[in-house]
Amino acid sequence: MFIVKLSFRTKFADFHDDLDETRRQQVKDNFETWWKDYIFRKPNITKDEEISETQFVDVLNADYKKDKAAFKKKMDKCFNVFFDVIDTNKDRSISEDEFLIAFKAYGHENVALDTKFFKAYNPDKDGLVPLHQIVTSWIDFTTNDDPKEKSVVKEAFEAGV
């Protein structure tokens, strides 16, 4: 069984060598807020708590079945907040480095697969993908009822990410 451990929350900011201590703490605080609001959805989280993949998916499924429009709106907020945390330089774009750091913080050690996933977004000439494009792909992935519809996120997961 997959258990989401809370320790990766601090890893995310720690993987960014270019952040000063104030910015590193802001990233940790923003990540903590995102975690509590969208993953655990409880106000009082202790450092020792864990959530299973099954529990997480069950909550998402219940929310989706209850009100698809509200679920989509919540996913929009969730992914905007999350990718805003990943966008550490606040340029409203995600670089390959920012993308890879986020996946590394989650324990994804296959840089080749994660790089291929990033490149599927067709970065611009500066190597950036607009934040909105990535957010939209994740919202579509989590709210689309058509399993045949093409999805960058779905293809990445099917490839082993």
Return per-residue pLDDT of the chain as tens, 161 residues: 334 444 555 566 666 667 788 877 877 787 777 877 777 665 454 555 666 778 778 888 899 999 999 999 998 888 888 887 888 888 999 999 989 988 887 778 899 999 999 999 999 999 999 999 999 999 999 898 888 889 999 999 999 98
Which domains are seen in the chain, by residue range?
3-158 (1.10.238.10)
pTM score above 0.85: no
Cβ neighbours around 116 below 10 Å, total: 15
In whole angstroms, give the CA distance from residue 57 to residue 26: 28
Are 94 and 87 contacting, i.e. CB atoms less than 8 angstroms apart? yes
In whole angstroms, give the CA distance from residue 72 to residue 61: 12
Residues 6+ apart with CB under 8 A from 28: 9, 10, 12, 13
DSSP β-bridge partners for residue 112:
none
In whole angstroms, give the CA distance from residue 18 to residue 115: 20
